Amino acid sequence: MKRKVELVVKSVDVIALDTFEMTLVNKYVAKTAIPGQFLHLLVDGHTLRRPISIANVDRNNNEITILFKIVGDGTKQLAAYKPGMSIDALGPSGNGFSYEGKLNSVLLVGGGIGIPPLYNLGKTLKKKGIKVTAVLGFQSKEHVFYEANFRELGKTYVVTNDGTYGYRGFVTSVMDQIEDFDTYYSCGPIPMLKAVTKQLQDHSGYISLEERMGCGVGACFACVIPTDSHGGYKKICKDGPVFAADEVVL
C-alpha cells in the first residue's frame, strides 16, 4: 500500500563515485516495506517525485536505506540533505519481488544503480535459508559499491566493463561459471536485462524495471512496456516495477 510519509534523514554517505547511501527513519515504511519496493521522494523545490528503490530495511530500528547516484539537480540536492532534515515521500510503492514456493538457491544479477533492491532481497532470502549467488556489474572500479555486503550473503562476482576491478566485461560474461539455481532476479539497465533474460531463457526469473520510471504515479506514460504475446501494455510504475522475465517484451 502506498501512502504519504515523512522520513527523517539519519545519515548520508558517499559510497562510490557520485553514489550515495542515505539512511532514513520512518516506522511505517520500515515495518511494511518488502524487497523490490521503492520510495517516491519529493525533493524540496521540485514538483516531480523521484522513485528510488529501497536497498535495506532495519525493522528493529525503524530504518530504511536508499542508494542513489547523482544524475541531475534533484539527486544532487538529495545528496546535500543533512541528518535531522525530513523528506516527504509516497511509499512503500510497487509490487516487490516474488519468492513464494520452494526455493533452495537463487541468482541475483544487478547492474549499477539497479543493484540496491537486490541487496534487500538477498538479505531476506538468506534469512530464509536460501543460497544466494550474486553477479554485480559496474562501469569501472570507482563505481563499485556494496561488494562486501553481497559477499556476506553468498558467493559474489564483481564485473567491470573496463576491467579495472574484478572480471572484465559484462554480467553475462561470468554467468556461465555459476552453478545451477532455482530462479533469478535481475535489475539494471535495459540492455543488460535483455542480455540476462536471453542467456537465462531456460530459467524462471524476475526483473525489476525501476530504471525506466518517470513520474512514478501513472501520469507521464514514460514507463509503458509491451507485454508478451497476448498483447497490451503495462505501466512499470503501477503494475511493476517487478515482472516475471517472460511477462514483458524488453
91 binds ligand FES (CB under 6 A): no
Least spacing, CB of residue 40 vs ligand FES, in Å: 10
223 binds ligand FES (CB under 6 A): yes
Between the two ends of the chain, the Cα-to-Cα distance in Å is 27
Q: Is 75 annotated as a binding residue?
A: yes
85 binds ligand FES (CB under 6 A): no
215 binds ligand FES (CB under 6 A): yes
Cα within 13 Å of Cα(120), Cβ side: 26
C-alpha cell belonging to residue 250: 524488453
Provide the mask over 14-33, with x wherever binding to ligand FES is found by CB under 6 A and - wherever it is not: --------------------
Of 136, 138, 188, 133, the residue nearest 164 (C-alpha)? 138
Q: Is 220 annotated as a binding residue?
A: yes
Provide the mask over 159-198, with x wherever binding to ligand FES is found by CB under 6 A and - wherever it is not: ----------------------------------------
234 binds ligand FES (CB under 6 A): no
Q: Which helix (H) or strand (E) holds 175?
A: none
221 binds ligand FES (CB under 6 A): yes
Sign of the CA dihedral with 87 first, then 89, 92, and 95 last: negative
235 binds ligand FES (CB under 6 A): yes
Sign of the CA dihedral with 211 first, then 217, 219, and 225 last: positive
Match 519529493 to its residue by C-alpha cell.
42
Of 54-62, 141-149, 191-199, 221-229, the window that binds ligand FES (rule: CB under 6 A) is 221-229
222 binds ligand FES (CB under 6 A): yes
Of 90, 148, 142, the residue nearest 112 (C-alpha)? 142
233 binds ligand FES (CB under 6 A): no
Q: How far apart are CA 152 and CA 148, in angstroms?
A: 6
**Count residues contacting ligand FES (CB under 6 A)?**
13
User: 169 vs 189, which CB is nearer to ligand FES?
Assistant: 189
Residue 209 is given by DSSP the state -
Q: Is 191 annotated as a binding residue?
A: no
Sequence-separated (6 or more) residues with CB below 8 Å from residue 224 = 233, 234, 235, 236
Question: Binding site residues for FAD, as ranges?
Answer: 50-53, 74-75
Residues that bind ligand FES (CB under 6 A): 213-216, 218-223, 235-237
